Amino acid sequence: MKFLIILMLSIFHWATNSFGQTFNKSINKDSLLQVILKKLPEERRSEFLKTYKKGNEETKEFMLFMGLMPTSSKKELIANIDSNFAKINYLRTEYSKLVPNGYIVSIEFNPADIMAMTRESIDLRIEHISNGQTDVKQEWNLEYNSRKLNQMLKPLSWTNETIHSIKQLLSDANCVSIKNGEITTVGFARSGMGKYFFKLFNNDLTGEEIKQYNDGCTYIYYKKNIVLEYGGGAIGPQCFPDKKD
């Protein structure tokens, strides 16, 4: 447990320095702690509380950050594709129309975080394929209508209106990110440091494709042209943590 805390603290320290996140000192830590303890399984509460009380301020802030990270599940992933398939498919179709030929664009919308004192932001990765060469530009936590964001959008001929249209399409589909390509990858939700996705193929999967995209770890074949995906973070599960559910 101690080694894990040290490792996670190192990642936390890197992230806060890289992305300019700081803990909101105006928030009552004791109140946050009680919220986290209620969320934890009963058998883990005493260990968490013991580690928290022994920690310095940086450790406590880190544990509060981690304890209040969003959570999701394979069950919620499936429920969303079943109930929102038409909207998710519409998202895929409309997004593909917006991305120019020769480009693969991945975009994710990050909500504001009161605890970390961060505004809504955008993660953007643009791959331009030309003459067999691929040029990649990627930025995290871009502010809306910022100079850096606008510079990245120019080659795509996207405007702020385009960004808001994509955000609305994702919201309607109850999703947070999308990447075009031969296979469209739609991000459903983050969970801890991991993330749940749908992979949407243009056609129903063949037998060989089902074998490839049903490895029992990163991918689970669902049905027809739909594959479920889980991406692990720097720490934590690297395979579906709930693949048997």
List per-block mean pLDDT (blocks of 10 residues) for the chain, which spans 245 residues: 45 46 75 85 88 86 81 96 97 98 97 77 96 94 95 96 98 98 97 94 97 95 98 84 81
User: Could you give phi then psi for residue 233, rounded to 5 degrees?
Assistant: -95, -165
Confidence at residue 117, expressed as pLDDT on a 0 to 100 scale? 65
Quote the pLDDT of residue 40.
Answer: 81
Task: Determine the pLDDT at residue 10.
Answer: 47
pLDDT of 17:
47
* pTM, to two decimals: 0.83
Q: Which residue has the tokens 């594959």?
A: 227
The DSSP secondary structure of 5-43, one letter per residue, reads HHHHHHHHHHHHHHHT----TTS-HHHHHHHHHHHS-HH
Q: What is the pLDDT of residue 21?
A: 58
Tokens coding 112: 């504001």
The confidence score (pLDDT) of residue 56 equals: 86
In this predicted structure, what is the pLDDT of residue 24?
A: 74
Report the pLDDT value the prediction gives residue 116, as an integer from 0 to 100.
61
pLDDT of res. 22: 66
